[in-house]
Amino acid sequence: MQLRLTAEVANRAGFRAVTTTGGAEALSILRSDRSMGAVILDLVMPEVDGMAVMEAMAREGLTTPVIIQTATASLETVVTAMRQGAADYFVKPVAPERLVVSLRNAIKLDTLEAAVRAEHARRSGTLSFSDMIAEAPAMARTVSLCAKAAKSTIPVMIEGETGVGKELVARVIQGGGERAGKPFIAVNCGALPPNLVESTLFGHKKGAFTGAIADQPGKFAEANGGTIFLDEVGDLPPEAQVKLLRVLQEGEIEPVGASRPERVNVRVISATNRRLLNLTKAGEFREDLYYRLNVFPIYVPPLRERREDIAALVDHFIARFAAEAGKRITGIAPGALDLLMRYDWPGNVRQLENTVYRAVVLTDGTTLETADFPQIIAQLGGREAALMSLDAVPVPAAPVHVDDAPPRRRQAEVETSAQDRFLDENGEVATVAEIERALIAFAITQHGGRMARVARALGIGRSTLYRKLHEYGLTDSIDSDAA
């Protein structure tokens, strides 16, 4: 009777109650469904009682928050239960409002704790396999390779489209191996200005160049004893490639301006969203370095090839962002999930993460609904999405396979081309029309061909933009406007 009433109150408040009358069954539910928000435990139950359930949970690392209910307010039992880690307790019969508040607090506490645990694990270099959602069959090979890679310290090369989770894979490999808890230093090689690549990676000595006012350790020195994660390693300039080869061959770095090399003990995990073998064939990447880095290759498939993971990823991101935003959001409506499952996610898990983040921030409800994903509706419907888009990170208009991925633009390269923008190829001052044409072409590349964004960035209307595209013979770019 009491059980039915409690379930009824919880269901009415928007929770989904699962009831059981025994401790053993409760434990098996908690083991099989780690996403349970909270458990209300009666201390008195036949066979396995409430305290025994809590002890088993602690032993097995089941972290679902526990609310204790007792028939008598014996201080001793309550104290023991709270010591065992119960989030709250109440004496039967309980007022419905008290029950609901207690459940809400417990769930909020749980999501917060999960977020704090994950952040702590990330910072301390102890992320484990349970922090990576990878239930889809397409991820099975990736996961088993990660487990093997974690057991050794050989160089690992992770390939996969932008945003698939390459850095997370690298962190999990480090967290699952003997270097867990040691430094994990991530460097985006594609984002370093060419003239600073060497000193950033290998450090420099005082006076090595103008502005080098003191000795500065590089990323390799910071990572000593741990792991360095070289993201977009294919973008390293040739000189830095030579130096990196030396680290891998000799275990030594040579800081800029140093008179002798320094020994380092660093595991190298590199990643690329462009097929490195193709760059090697094209002469853009040293072949000897390629073989040194690519001792143990791991491929991370794009999200559209593992849609089975979308639901779990969405739940994971909702829990994290709802806790951060201090909102109670219990999940996603089936229709909205269906929408997300149908989309192709050219920006992969990172795009999904940003999409859920935006929905969590904007919603007023307790469940994410279809209407909370206007960009995805627009893109699936083939309508102009860019107007509504608030993407914090650039997302390709359509999926870009690793074989076809273009290099990312370096900051400095953009600046250099900007400096030269008034001169034509003969060194003469360009005409206004030439500059305008080049500017429009540049904006189209920058905005992945999304014309509404291009128009907005250029400060002109879309019809003017289209007229100019025709005028300058740039109409090929119009095809990608749908995205």
Ligand X SMILES: Nc1ncnc2c1ncn2[C@@H]1O[C@H](COP(=O)(O)OP(=O)(O)OP(=O)(O)O)[C@@H](O)[C@H]1O
C-beta of 166 vs 410, nearer to ligand X: 166
C-beta of 51 vs 310, nearer to ligand X: 310
SS (H, E, C) 356-382: HHHHHHHCCCCEECHHHCHHHHHHHCC
Q: Which of 315, 371, 305, 383 lies closest to 344 in space, CA to CA?
A: 305
Shortest Cβ 348–ligand X spacing (Å): 7
C-beta of 66 vs 121, nearer to ligand X: 121
C-beta of 90 vs 357, nearer to ligand X: 357
Q: Which residue has the tokens 């128009």?
A: 455
User: Do the Cβ atoms of 331 and 143 come closer than 8 Å?
Assistant: no
Sort strands 267-272 and 367-368 into parallel, antiparallel or unpaired: unpaired
Shortest Cβ 231–ligand X spacing (Å): 5
C-beta of 357 vs 466, nearer to ligand X: 357
* 470-483 CB burial, b ≥16 within 10 A, e <16: eeeebeebeeebbb
Instruction: Identify any residues that bridge with 89 across adjacent strands, giving them in sequence order.
Output: 68
* Dihedral angle over CA of 121, 127, 129, 133, nearest 10: 70
C-beta of 138 vs 380, nearer to ligand X: 138
Q: Point out which residues bind ligand X (CB under 6 A).
A: 132-134, 160, 162-168, 231, 273, 313, 316, 349-350, 353
User: Do the Cβ atoms of 12 and 44 come closer than 8 Å?
Assistant: no
User: Do the Cβ atoms of 375 and 389 come closer than 8 Å?
Assistant: yes
Taking the C-alpha atoms of residue 361 and residue 383, their distance in angstroms, rounded to an integer, is 24
Shortest Cβ 61–ligand X spacing (Å): 19
Shortest Cβ 426–ligand X spacing (Å): 39
* DSSP secondary structure string for all residues of 340-351: HHHS--TTHHHH
Shortest Cβ 419–ligand X spacing (Å): 28
- Residue whose beta carbon is closest to ligand X: 165
**Phi and psi at residue 77, in whole multiples of 5°?**
-65, -40
Tokens of 351: 């795009």
Helices 310-325/96-123 angle, 10° precision: 100
Shortest Cβ 230–ligand X spacing (Å): 11
Shortest Cβ 266–ligand X spacing (Å): 19
Shortest Cβ 25–ligand X spacing (Å): 30
Shortest Cβ 127–ligand X spacing (Å): 9
C-beta of 6 vs 162, nearer to ligand X: 162
C-beta of 65 vs 160, nearer to ligand X: 160
Q: Which residue has the tokens 């090839």?
A: 305
Taking the C-alpha atoms of residue 120 and residue 266, their distance in angstroms, rounded to an integer, is 22
* DSSP secondary structure string for all residues of 114-165: HHHHHHHHHHTT---GGGS---SGGGHHHHHHHHHHHTS-S-EEEE-STTSS
C-beta of 127 vs 336, nearer to ligand X: 127
Q: Strand 39-42: give its sheet, edge to edge.
A: 39-42, 66-70, 88-91
C-beta of 50 vs 160, nearer to ligand X: 160
Shortest Cβ 113–ligand X spacing (Å): 17
